[in-house]
Structure 1
Amino acid sequence: MSPAESSFTDRLLGRVRLGGLLSLVAPILAVVFAGLITSVVLLMTGDPPLETLGVMVDYGMRPRSIVMTLNEATTYYLSALAVAIGFRMNLFNIGVDGQYRLAALIAAAVGGAITLPGPLHVAMIIIVAMLVGAGWASIAGLLKVKRGVSEVISTIMLNAIATAIGAWLLNKERLAVEVAGSNNIGTNPIAESGRVPGMELIPGTPTKVFGLIILAIVMGVLYHVLLNRTRFGFDLRATGRSESAAVASGVNVKKMVLIAMILSGAVAGLVGMPQLLGASYSYSLDFPAGLGFIGIAIALLGRNNPVGIAFGALLWAFLNTSSNILQLHEISPEIVQIMQGTIVLSVIIAYELVHRYQISAGQRRVSKELASATPPRAEGASA
């Protein structure tokens, strides 16, 4: 390698390292800024910030709290992955909430109505959930490619429709039965063969980690491989960056939009599975809701990167778990929601500032190189 080539390579690697460092520092600074804003709010309400943080950390690091954090993070992670698939395609799948709840309801009803050998029973429930989620998301995809309807509008409306369908199905005359010992109603309980046992990963507590945390890890790996190691992933990312460029390179944009929405919906169908197969074993009125919207925030926080999303899900779950102790210390637990919202806004602003800095730095670099370039000598000029 010539000295010039070596110098160019060194400069290129330096810019890559700088870009990676800025992308890493941005969320850290955003979290610190959110902590400062939260401290100001605490001071205004008369609560000591450092003592509040100490109480949250002490409670959040207890064995049982760690298990609760991991279990919540598992569902958050799957939800964020479903959102991230759309984001990488420049699609906003706001309908993950409706997709996973409808999928969980139908899967719970199917799982409670049949009995199969263990692995087959679990696989059947998971496949049904993915098919329902994919089918519901495909409606928004078809509306976009056939009629040009914005996926934001269609998925929001489909959330409302999914909620109405779920309420219609979840009654004693159709899918639901009374839950013994309460006024609640839900689907028939899933038999033992369709349940996924938890794992005692954290010593010091009998509370178990969801067995389907393994599914979340596998989905994260598949997401990374699909987007970064396959031609489909390249086409998806290229379409998200520039539809015109993708069309010029022979990519069928409408087909990619539809496939991306179907994949996003299929992953969304998995969001309720850790809770359904690992804890409740039935879909009832108190089944967790709102996980799809949390997934949007975590996908933004993690920059659609599977590792970044994992850290975002753990942070979000840790804050939620830690908030349970605040009321006992006469501190409003809503302070955690303020911190979560500030984190998301701060991260978005931080990444935008980093993006603008990189563009500005690139422009200055090009200007400097052009200014320092030696003009070519004219033909026939004397030496």
Structure 2
Amino acid sequence: MNAVRRVNREKLLLQLGAPLLAILAALVITSVILATTGGDPFRAYSVMIEFGFKSDSQIWIINKAIPYFLAAVAVAVGFRMKLFNIGVDGQYRLAAFCAAALGGAVAFPSFIQIPLMILTAMFVGAIWSGIAGLLKATRGVSEVVSTIMLNFIAASLIGYLIQENRLGVVEGNLTHTENIPESGHFFEISTGQEPIGGFVIVAVLVGVVYWLVLNRSRFGFDLRAVGGSHSAAEASGVNVKRMVVSSMLLSGLFAGLVGMPTLLGESHNYGTDFPEGIGFTGIAIALLGRNHPVGMALAALLWGFLERTGTQLEFEGYSQEIIGVMQGVIVFCVVIAYEVVRRYGLKLQQRKVGEELAAEARAKSSNEAGASA
């Protein structure tokens, strides 16, 4: 029992070690950059903490973190199987566009309108991601290449369809789909100040479903087995090609939800100013959160915190690019920290195995000596 507790404690420390080491290294590197450019790093961090922990900032950070977390979950599904889904950006944008076009064309009661748009977005995201999975399974096409190409195709398709004489409506300098009726507006959680988007509840449910599917189901076991070794998984009876397609479908299913907080809670249409790049942010958050729902939630909040406080740093005379530098340094440090921690954990495991073998050898030698006596 003590050995089990010791192993679990060491495993927990290793899991926490990489992100903590990455953030600490990022703080040190960013401090050096600030100092060399004439800024006071301690004053900058003080401003960030003071502004970031104000109540209105906290609400802004939570709302900002919701799509980031959903994007990270979509990316993490692929990561767990050693698949690199770079196409989350195109998947959520095309999914949001289709959901917006449908929502603007029909008007049902809320209990039909909202689920209809959400299911449409999830379906479109899954199909668009499934194309890459199918190409990978049947033709061996790298999912990195195919998802990047599908991003461009999705953007071009949206650009074609959102024109005024098709599905677009011109309003000032913006072109967007028909406005979604009020029955398609998602609820908000009142706080006495700015409301929190009700999609935070959906994000929590997605995190729970993600954890249960990947850690408490046969599908999740097979997915992780294929991620560990294709040949070993295939030898144990797992259909690797089917798992590749299934995991990409599931990744796209989650990706379809990324644009829904903005569509249903803020813009109520898909326009040329719809947020882009959230999928790529999800990659960094999934890495920082180690593909664990709690870790990714904390990483998404950290990203929102950095973006919120970055605006305040500009008013204090700091360069507006410093937050981008900090985010880039965090991602860079994450990759290095994970490798350092992985190698350290491997050395610990090898040492334990050596100690166990040595103990068995001593016991065997002692038994043989006793038998001969």
Say yes or no: TM over 0.5. yes
TM-score w.r.t. length of structure 1: 0.93
Q: Please report the RMSD computed on the Cα atoms of aligned residues, expressed in angstroms.
A: 1.5
In the alignment, what sits opposite 2:49?
Answer: 57
Counterparts of 1:378 and 1:71, CA distance in 2: 68
Give how far 1:378 is off.
Answer: 7.0
Secondary structure of 1:288's counterpart equals: coil
In the alignment, what sits opposite 1:189?
Answer: 179
In the alignment, what sits opposite 1:291?
Answer: 278
In the alignment, what sits opposite 1:199?
Answer: 189
Say if 2:331 is the partner of 1:344. Answer: yes
Counterparts of 1:362 and 1:91, CA distance in 2: 26
Structure 2: tracts of 5 or more residues without a match: none
In the alignment, what sits opposite 1:258?
Answer: 245
- Give the count of matched residue pairs: 369
Conserved 8 A contact 2:176-2:272: yes
In the alignment, what sits opposite 1:95?
Answer: 87
Conserved 8 A contact 1:116-1:193: yes
In the alignment, what sits opposite 1:361?
Answer: 348
Structure 1: tracts of 5 or more residues without a match: 1-8
Give how far 1:382 is off.
Answer: 4.4
Give how far 1:63 is off.
Answer: 2.2
Counterparts of 1:378 and 1:324, CA distance in 2: 74
Secondary structure of 2:176's counterpart equals: strand
The residue identity in structure 2 corresponding to 1:170 is I
Say if 2:155 is the partner of 1:163. Answer: yes
Counterparts of 1:25 and 1:157, CA distance in 2: 36
In the alignment, what sits opposite 1:172?
Answer: 164
Say if 2:314 is the partner of 1:327. Answer: yes
Secondary structure of 1:178's counterpart equals: strand
In the alignment, what sits opposite 1:116?
Answer: 108
In the alignment, what sits opposite 2:268?
Answer: 281
Conserved 8 A contact 2:17-2:341: no
Give how far 1:51 is off.
Answer: 1.0
Residue 132 (structure 2) aligned to one of 126, 137, 140: 140
| Consecutive aligned runs of 4 or more in structure 1 exceeding 3 Å deviation | 375-379
CA offset digits 1:183-240 (Å, max 9, x no partner): 1110000000011122123x4x2x2111111110100000011111111111111111
Counterparts of 1:26 and 1:267, CA distance in 2: 26
Give how far 1:26 is off.
Answer: 2.5
Q: Percent identity?
A: 52
Residue 12 (structure 1) aligned to one of 1, 4, 7: 4
Secondary structure of 1:327's counterpart equals: helix
Secondary structure of 2:44's counterpart equals: helix
Counterparts of 1:239 and 1:257, CA distance in 2: 9
Give how far 1:109 is off.
Answer: 0.5
Give how far 1:168 is off.
Answer: 0.7
Say which is worse superposed, 156-165 or 12-21, in terms of deviation: 12-21
Conserved 8 A contact 1:196-1:211: yes
Counterparts of 2:296 and 2:372, CA distance in 1: 63
Counterparts of 1:87 and 1:216, CA distance in 2: 19
The residue identity in structure 1 corresponding to 2:153 is I
Conserved 8 A contact 1:23-1:351: no
Residue 28 (structure 1) aligned to one of 11, 20, 24: 20
CA offset digits 1:265-307 (Å, max 9, x no partner): 0110100000000000000011000000000000000000000
Secondary structure of 2:197's counterpart equals: coil
Counterparts of 1:12 and 1:351, CA distance in 2: 24
The residue identity in structure 1 corresponding to 2:319 is S
Secondary structure of 1:173's counterpart equals: coil
The residue identity in structure 1 corresponding to 2:207 is G
In the alignment, what sits opposite 1:218?
Answer: 205
The residue identity in structure 1 corresponding to 2:119 is I
The residue identity in structure 2 corresponding to 1:293 is F
CA offset digits 1:117-173 (Å, max 9, x no partner): 111100010011011101111110110011000101100111111111111111101
In the alignment, what sits opposite 2:222?
Answer: 235
The residue identity in structure 2 corresponding to 1:194 is G
The residue identity in structure 2 corresponding to 1:320 is E
Counterparts of 1:25 and 1:173, CA distance in 2: 55
Give how far 1:367 is off.
Answer: 2.1
In the alignment, what sits opposite 1:3?
Answer: none
Say if 2:29 is the partner of 1:37. Answer: yes
Conserved 8 A contact 2:14-2:345: no
Conserved 8 A contact 1:79-1:267: yes
TM-score w.r.t. length of structure 2: 0.96
Residue 288 (structure 2) aligned to one of 301, 308, 319: 301
Say which is worse superposed, 238-247 or 144-153, in terms of deviation: 238-247
Counterparts of 1:219 and 1:371, CA distance in 2: 47
Residue 318 (structure 1) aligned to one of 285, 298, 305: 305
The residue identity in structure 1 corresponding to 2:157 is I
The residue identity in structure 2 corresponding to 1:359 is L
Give how far 1:71 is off.
Answer: 0.8
Conserved 8 A contact 2:81-2:223: yes
The residue identity in structure 1 corresponding to 2:186 is V
